[in-house]
Amino acid sequence: MDYVVKDISYKYTSDGKEVLKHVSFSIEKGKVTAIVGPSGCGKSTLVQIFSQVIPKLIGNGELQGSFDVPEGTFVSVVSQSPENQLFGYGVEDAIAFGMENLGIPQEEIMERMEYVLDLLNLQYLRNRSVANLSGGQRQSVCIASVLAMEPDILIMDEPVSSLDPNGKKMVQNILGQLSINGNTTVLVDNNLVWSAGIVDHVIGLLDGEVVFDGTRDDFFRDFALQEKLGVIIPQEVEIYRELSKSFPQLELFYTVEEAKKQLEQLIPVKEFTNTQVQEEEKEPVVTVHNLGKTFNDGFHALIDVNANVAKGKVVAVLGQNGSGKTTFVKHLNGLHKPTEGDVRYKGESIIKKTVAQVSKNIILVFQHPEHMLFEETVERELTFCARMQQVPFSEEQLIQVLKAYHLEEERETFPLNLSMGKKHMLTILSVLFSSADVIILDEPTLGMDGFLIKELADMIQKLSEEGKTVIMISHEIPLVFKTVDEAIILNQGEKIFEGSKEALARRDDIFEHINIQLPPVVRLSKELGLDEICYSVESFAAKIVERRSV
């Protein structure tokens, strides 16, 4: 039988805001259902109702309607913030916690733990402290802890936002197998890039109401609706959307292989010429010399890293989960002190300076915005850095930023009450009022819908044009290639690449080594033998049309 969401409405009593309005749909047993919609549309509130956090733990609202499931159905949630769901000092403790609370015998707990550790390739982490894990590793442990409880309905709220592409693919495969086994999964995630291959059913929410209820293919063919909901779609589908304007005979495709097969029927395929890229001389603003970091548990997080970050450039720091990316950037703003080596800003060492001193020049926006939100209102949070650093700002500047990023109506809102995407954008906006000319963004797209990501990309471009340097950690590889100038790649704490985006696009060996794929437009540019490598869907489509007309 299906699980039924029946006429659910929810209103906060504090401000009378109705976040869900007569929401009704069915969740088919044994299928994967995706719930999508822009930031603030009510997705996370719906998750809290499904898990009975509302009304059992949060009672500051009026709930009508019901989520009808058979008696004894076990519903479990993977939250978008793993820190809120991991209990215990070590990885084994965190995985066992939920099972112990269910009263599962110790012998069975150990059997299930071995199973999920193998399933998610986490055996190498089992004796590590949760506190010393990377964001992606914590998210993997969180998923393992929930899978170990064997829920009837698995609800996942942005479950892979901190995972590298390899980790996302692994979770996709696991959920696909669970579906085959008859398990039911609900994905609450506006990023359908990683899950398009396994989703059966899509529910679209807008302003607390259901505006779409249908199949995956029907959803991906409705371009206007995707835009309206701010859904992040696979780049392959973006390519189909753009090319179908010129070639209506194309059929919807989800993979590079499917795209290539159809495009080979449209244009002559040539052999790609892999020319060497000449790297330009650069004026470094941040220099890293022989940087090494060993944690108290003996783990070597960074090993003899050397790198130069140029003034006014956008630089990506890439690598698998646990490769040392966040540890690396925390040395750049003084949060971590190196075991060996040096970090210099404009030639001057910063390793003996305080974080407050360094942040006047180099500032870091954390991966999880809750770690940076201290004030009582959005307005005060926005100006926090400026006030701390005594940087002058005007009311006109403040209003301009509030309007530009759609926060004017939430000027007096408590920041932690914002959606995850808006919380993250708020922390990024606050550093724009600081004196820093080097801005580090650690997984800045976490929780963001398509609208916010576009605004973020435009903001990064503008900062670069103003001469500021942006260093960005991200697992969103298509976004990286559209946005950055250069990249630094880490693997198991060691630097294995440093150079321009153009040079990196030609290094298939690097991507094979870190088990991450190049963006679809880059791969197709090379596999179809285009005259140049394309980094955006628009430029790729233009090249296809151009070759077709020759």
Residues facing residue 439 across a β-bridge? 363, 470
Beta strand 486-491 with 314-318: parallel, antiparallel or unpaired?
Answer: parallel
Report residue 156: phi and psi, to 5°.
-125, 115
pLDDT digits (tens, 9 = 90+) for 102-125: 999 999 999 999 999 998 889 999
| Domain architecture of the chain: domains with CATH | 3-232 (3.40.50.300), 234-266+521-549 (no CATH), 284-520 (3.40.50.300)
Tokens of 449: 């819908």
**Per-residue pLDDT for 327 more than 70?**
yes
Cis upstream peptide for 338 (omega within 30°): no
Q: Is the dihedral of CA 339, 342, 344, 350 positive or negative?
A: positive
**Residue 550's pLDDT band (boundaries 50, 70, 90)?**
low
Of 207, 209, 208, 231, nearest to 221 (Cα)? Answer: 231
Q: Is the dihedral of CA 374, 380, 384, 390 positive or negative?
A: negative
Long-range Cβ contact pairs of 52-60 (< 8 A, separation 24 or more):
54/10, 60/12, 60/13, 60/14
Residue 363 is predicted with a pLDDT of: 96
Tokens of 329: 């950037």
Indicate the residue type of 264.
Answer: E
Residue 325 is predicted with a pLDDT of: 95
pLDDT digits (tens, 9 = 90+) for 123-166: 999 999 888 888 788 888 999 999 999 999 999 998 888 788 88
The Cα 471–Cα 265 span in angstroms is 41
The Cα 140–Cα 162 span in angstroms is 9
pLDDT digits (tens, 9 = 90+) for 453-509: 999 999 999 999 999 999 999 999 999 999 999 999 999 999 999 999 999 999 999
pLDDT digits (tens, 9 = 90+) for 446-455: 888 899 999 9
